[in-house]
Amino acid sequence: MDNILFNISVVIQIIVFVALIALIFSLTKIIKVLAMKVESLQDDFTKFKVKIDPLIDETLVTMKKVNSIAQSIDENLDGVKGTVDKVRNTVENLTDFVEGLRRKVEPSIYDTVNGYSAVVQGVKAFIERLKSNGSKVSRKPYNESLLFEPSESSDNEEYDFENEFKDINKELNEVRKKLEEMKKV
């Protein structure tokens, strides 16, 4: 029985060695197939690298161009902002100038219009007074202080007429002064 066990053990060892050899051959074939696939993958990677290198270079060049365009846009925007600020300041200055000019000229214009209105009313009153009295005014030499010289009569009607002359003279003198002031400005 020892011999049978010995023989069985030898047969089992032979079967195990044969199986081990078959396993080694199959593993060798698998490793060769994997090696070929790795080699194919390496070739594909090399081809991919050859194709991707110019793409990477072009991408870098494109990125540099995009950066330079963005920088020039920023510079142009700064220029536009400066121009807009200058235009805004100019418009504000122009508005301030117009407002100041209006504040300076408006009272003079109102005073002039009021003065002319007073002159027109004075002349109308004078003409109406002349028409109602029917009297004649004597002419005297021109006096610088008064535009009209009152008559020296003591008649009561003519005395009122003289007061009106004085009022008209005052108004006309005021208008003359205002016109002279406007000529100076």
Please, which pLDDT band fits residue 152 given cuts at 50, 70 and 90?
low
Q: CB atoms < 10 A from the CB of 172, how many?
A: 18
Please compute Rg for the chain using Cα positions: 59
Phi and psi angles of residue 136, each rounded to the nearest 5 degrees, phi first: -105, 145
Tens-digit pLDDT profile for residues 126-142: 888 777 765 544 444 44
pLDDT at position 160: 59
H or E, element range at 140: none
Q: Long-range contacts: 124-128, Cβ < 8 Å, 24+? A: 125/164, 125/168, 126/164, 126/168
Q: What is the mean pLDDT of residues 93-107?
A: 86
* Type of residue found at 60: L
Tens-digit pLDDT profile for residues 18-66: 999 999 999 999 999 999 999 999 999 998 888 888 888 999 999 999 9
pLDDT at position 35: 94
Average the pLDDT over each of 118-122, 135-139, 158-162 and give the range with the smallest value. 135-139
Q: What is the mean pLDDT of the chain?
A: 81
pLDDT at position 22: 95
